[in-house]
Structure 1
C-alpha cells in the first residue's frame, strides 16, 4: 500500500494541467516532508528522474531510419515523416519535453530542506547520508544532460533552473544556445569531482557490498557530457564564425576523457563487445543505460520470412558503402581498392559483417535458412515488409533470441550505450583537426594527431583496418573521417545529429538501396537511388505549434 501511495504521489507531481510544457507546478497528495524524510522515498524521486534518460534501441521511430543510415521497411511508420516532407510545427515529432528538467529542479530545490534526523540511529544512517549527499550532483548531471538533448534539437531553449508557477511557465523566453551550452559545461566542471569513478569501490557506503548500485552517474560520465557538448558547440550549426577557440576547448575536453579513461582502466576492446547482454561490462563503456530484459528490438528487426520476424530498420547502401576494403583501406569506388562488384561484401571492413546482415548470411541463429535478400527470395520483396534496401540489421540485436510462437525464449538484457571511449577518440580527432588545421598536426598540448586518434579505433583486436595516412589533404581527411564515424558509431544514435551539426543536409537527399537479383547460381547487384525530402530548416526541430499557442514568447525556428 505504501509503494502505491509513493507512486501516486510521484505521478501527481508531473501533472501538467493546461499550462505549457515548461510548468512545474506541483500537485501532490502528500506534502514534501513525506518524501524528504525517508531515504527510500527520496531515492525513488531520483530514480524517477533517471527514467527520463533517452535510448534509441532499434524500433519503429528510431532516428537511424530518419537519416541515411537506414530505411524503415513499413510504409505506415511515423519515422518516414522526417524524410517525406510531412514534418511541420503542427506535426512536430516533438522532443520538446521539460518533464525531466522540472523534476530535477523540484528535487534540487526541495532536497535542501530534507531532514533525516529521525533516522540518525539507524545502522545504515551514515552510508545513506553519503548516498543522499551525492544525489544532488547526479540530478544536476541529469538536468544538464536533458538540456543538451534539447539544445542539439532546437538550438535556443528556455534555460530554467528553478520551480516555476503556471504563470511564470507561460511567459518564459528562449535562451541563446551558447548560454545553454555554457551552463552545461559549467555544471559539469562543478560536479565532476563530487561523483565516484566506480561505485563498487566506495568504502562504508550504501553503494558498496555484495549488491552495489549500478547505472548511476560517474565522474567519467560527467566528463563525457562536457566533451560532447563542447564538440557540438564548436560545430558549424552552432559555431557560425568557426571560432577556433571553441574547437580548442572541444579538443581539450575530449582529450581529458581519453586521458581519464586511460588512468582508470577504461580502454578500447573488441568492437563486437559494444552490444549484447553483457555490453555494460565491456572495457570501453563510460555510461550505459540498462534497458532490461526485452525481445522488442528482435521482434521489430528480425527478417521477414522467419516466424514472427517483422523487418524494420534496414541498413542502407549508403552505410554499406562507408565500409572500406580491409586490405587497401580504400572506399569501394576508389581506384585500386580491390572491390569486386560481383562479390561486393568480400574483403570489407570487419565491422560490416558485425553490423549488417547481407544476402546469404546465416542470421539470426534461430533462422533455419541463410538469408535470401534477392528479389523473390524468402526474405525479400515483394513480400510485404521485407527489406527495401537489401539488408537487415544485426547491431544491438541478440541473434540467440527465439521469437517463434512455440519455442520463444523471451527477452534478454539490452543496454543502450550513452557514452563509450570510441566516440571520444573520434570527437578528439575532429576537434584537433579543426583547431590545428591538418590531420597530422600536433603541438605541445595535443601530442596525438587526428589521424593517430582514429587509428586507435581502427586497430581494435577484431577490426585491424589500415591506418589513416599522415599526408591526407583536408578534404580527403574530412571525407574519410566522416565515413569512419558513420561506420564506428552506426546505429548508436549519432548519425542523425552529426548531419545536422555539420550542416551536411545535402547528403540526405538520396537514399541508396541495393536491388539483388538471382541468375542461376550467381547474383547481380544494382544500386537504386531513392529521393528523400530535405530542407535546411530541418537542421533544427520545429517548436510545437501547441506550445507557442500557450506561450507566444516562444519564437519559432527559422523556416517552420
Structure 2
C-alpha cells in the first residue's frame, strides 16, 4: 500500500510535461530538483516508484499504444472518421500526419519516463545498501530499455539520451541510428537481468524482475533477428535445471486476465492498477468497448479454442461492453477500472522461443523443442496440435507461429509489431476482412511529431521520417 500511495503522489507532482517544451524538458527539471530531492535512500525509493508512473497513463499502454499498435494492424478498425477530429480513424487508415496529437503525447510520455530513469540512475550513490542499490539500478535500466524499445519500433532513429541533460542540450541531440538504440537497449536489459531479483515479496510485486528483463531482451533479439541470442536468453526462462523462475501457463486463459488473479505465474511484467485507490485505476480503454474486430481473426479459432471467448464482450453498464480479456467492474467510489495491462507473459515467451529455434533450423521432429513450445500454447487453448506433416517446412512453421501469435495475443499490443518484424504488414492489411489498405514501407514508422520538428527547427538534428 505504501508504494501505491507514493506512486500516486509522484505521478501527479514529481514530473509533468508540456507539449510546448523540448522532448526531454521536464517541469520541474531544475537545479532544485537535482540538488534538493535526491538526498537519501528514501528519496531514491520514491523516485524509483515514480518512474513506473508514466506506464499507467493514457499516453502509453492504457490508450495510445493500443491505438498505435492494435488499431494500426489488421485486428481491429475505427469506423468513425468524425470522432476526436479523426485522430484515431486516421491512424487506422494510414492517413495520420505529424500533427496528430496521439504521436506527440506518446513521444513526450516516453521521454518523460526516460528522464525519470536517467535522473534516478545519476543519484544512486546515495543508497548505501548495495543490494537495494543494485535492484534500483536494474529497475531503472529495465524501464529505460522498455521506453526505448517502444520509441525505436514506433519511430526508428530517435534521440538517445542516457544521462540527465538540460533543456539547451536537448535541442541539440541528434537522432541516433536504430542499431545504436538497440545496442543501448541490449546493454540496459543485460545489466538489469544481472542486477534484479527473480521474485519479490508481496509488497513489491509488480516491480521489474530478472525474468522480465530476460523476456524483454529475448523479444528485442527476435526483433533484431538475432535468433541465437534470443534462444539463449529465452531458454533461461523455461523450467529446466536450476532455473529460479516459476513461470508457467495457467490451465485456463481466462485465469491469466482475471482481476482476482493479477500478477499471476504467467505474467512476467504488467502495468499494475488498483481501482480502489484514488488516481490508481483507469477508465475504459479505446477499442476494448465493443471493438470492430476482423472477422478473419474471429473465424480463425477452432470451435474448441478457449481463446475465442476472450474476444466476446461483456456488459459493464448501459453504454459499455468490454471484451472479456480487458473486463473489470467499476469501483463504486471512483468509477474506475483496475484490470492490469500485461506487457509480457509466458505464452509469448514460448512462442518467441519456438520462432527463434525455427529461424535457426527447421526441425521435422514432432518432439523437438520448437514443436513442443508451439503446441504447449495450443494445448492450453484446447486447440488441435500441429504435426510435422502440417508444418513440413521452415516457412510453414514460420507462418504457423505468426498465426498463433495473432490468436494468443490480440489486444496485447503485439500484432502490428509482429507484422513489421516479419515483413508481412502489407499482405495482412490487404487480406483483412476489414477495410483493405495499401501501404508503403515508409508507413512502417510513424512521423516524428510536428511539435518536436517545429521546436528544434533544425532538420540536421531532428529530421522528419521519409514519406511525411
Question: Are 1:25 and 1:166, in contact at CA under 8 Å, matched by a contact in 2?
Answer: no
SS of equivalent residue, structure 2 residue 339: strand
Scaled by the length of structure 2, what TM-score is found?
Answer: 0.82
Gaps of 5+ in 1: 117-125, 201-210, 235-245, 303-310, 326-346, 358-362, 368-384, 513-528
Question: Are 1:500 and 1:540, in contact at CA under 8 Å, matched by a contact in 2?
Answer: no
Say if 1:263 and 1:195 are closer, same or farther in 2 by CA, change over 3 A.
closer
SS of equivalent residue, structure 1 residue 47: helix
1:222: which partner in 2? 213
User: Which whole-Å CA distance do the structure 1 matches of 2:334 and 2:167 have between them?
Assistant: 49
Gaps of 5+ in 2: 276-280
SS of equivalent residue, structure 1 residue 418: strand
Indicate yes or no: 2:452 matched with 1:537: no
Partner residue of 1:421 out of 346, 349, 353: 346
Indicate yes or no: 2:373 matched with 1:456: no
Say if 1:318 and 1:554 are closer, same or farther in 2 by CA, change over 3 A.
same
1:271: which partner in 2? 253
2:77: which partner in 1? 71
Say if 1:226 and 1:154 are closer, same or farther in 2 by CA, change over 3 A.
same
Question: Are 1:23 and 1:170, in contact at CA under 8 Å, matched by a contact in 2?
Answer: no
Measured against aligned partners, the alpha-carbon deviations of 1:385-428 in whole angstroms (never above 9, x if no partner) come to 999xxxx7322113xx379xxx9995553111121110011111
Note the C-alpha offset of 1:80. Answer: 1.4
SS of equivalent residue, structure 1 residue 530: coil
Say if 1:554 and 1:259 are closer, same or farther in 2 by CA, change over 3 A.
farther
1:254: which partner in 2? 234
Say if 1:138 and 1:72 are closer, same or farther in 2 by CA, change over 3 A.
same
2:417: which partner in 1? 497
2:387: which partner in 1? 469
Note the C-alpha offset of 1:533. Answer: 5.4
Say if 1:51 and 1:366 are closer, same or farther in 2 by CA, change over 3 A.
closer
1:82: which partner in 2? 91
1:396: which partner in 2? 326
Measured against aligned partners, the alpha-carbon deviations of 1:164-195 in whole angstroms (never above 9, x if no partner) come to 22332111112221221122112222232221
2:364: which partner in 1? 440
Correspondences of 1:211-360 after superposition (within 5 Å):
212-234=203-225, 246-259=226-239, 263-269=244-250, 270-293=252-275, 294=281, 296-297=283-284, 311-323=289-301, 325=302, 347-357=303-313
Question: Are 1:25 and 1:164, in contact at CA under 8 Å, matched by a contact in 2?
Answer: no
1:104: which partner in 2? 117
* Higher share in helix: 2
Correspondences of 1:344-383 after superposition (within 5 Å):
347-357=303-313, 363-364=314-315
Partner residue of 1:546 out of 451, 455, 463: 451
Note the C-alpha offset of 1:494. Answer: 0.4
Question: Are 1:24 and 1:165, in contact at CA under 8 Å, matched by a contact in 2?
Answer: no
Indicate yes or no: 2:460 matched with 1:482: no
Correspondences of 1:3-14 after superposition (within 5 Å):
11=13, 14=16
Moved more, 549-558 or 489-498: 549-558
1:520: which partner in 2? none
User: Which whole-Å CA distance do the structure 2 matches of 1:173 and 1:35 have between them?
Assistant: 30
Note the C-alpha offset of 1:86. Answer: 2.6
2:198: which partner in 1? 197
Question: Are 1:104 and 1:139, in contact at CA under 8 Å, matched by a contact in 2?
Answer: yes
User: Which whole-Å CA distance do the structure 1 matches of 2:143 and 2:333 have between them?
Assistant: 37
Partner residue of 1:37 out of 33, 36, 39: 39
Measured against aligned partners, the alpha-carbon deviations of 1:206-236 in whole angstroms (never above 9, x if no partner) come to xxxxx622211111111112111111111xx
SS of equivalent residue, structure 1 residue 225: helix
Query: What is the root-mean-square deviation of aligned Cα atoms in Å?
Result: 3.5
Note the C-alpha offset of 1:480. Answer: 2.3
User: Which whole-Å CA distance do the structure 2 matches of 1:408 and 1:25 have between them?
Assistant: 31
Question: Are 1:503 and 1:539, in contact at CA under 8 Å, matched by a contact in 2?
Answer: no
Question: Are 2:121 and 2:137, in contact at CA under 8 Å, matched by a contact in 1?
Answer: yes
Measured against aligned partners, the alpha-carbon deviations of 1:436-490 in whole angstroms (never above 9, x if no partner) come to 1x25379xxxx94322210011111xx2222111132334323322221101111
Question: Are 2:249 and 2:265, in contact at CA under 8 Å, matched by a contact in 1?
Answer: yes
User: Which whole-Å CA distance do the structure 2 matches of 1:7 and 1:349 have between them?
Assistant: 43
User: Which whole-Å CA distance do the structure 1 matches of 2:101 and 2:11 have between them?
Assistant: 31
Partner residue of 2:52 out of 28, 50, 53: 50
Say if 1:292 and 1:7 are closer, same or farther in 2 by CA, change over 3 A.
closer
User: Which whole-Å CA distance do the structure 2 matches of 1:365 and 1:228 have between them?
Assistant: 34
Structure whose CA Rg is larger: 1
Measured against aligned partners, the alpha-carbon deviations of 1:140-182 in whole angstroms (never above 9, x if no partner) come to 2111111111111112222211222233211111222122112
| Equivalenced residues, count | 439
User: Which whole-Å CA distance do the structure 2 matches of 1:15 and 1:486 have between them?
Assistant: 35
Say if 1:268 and 1:74 are closer, same or farther in 2 by CA, change over 3 A.
same
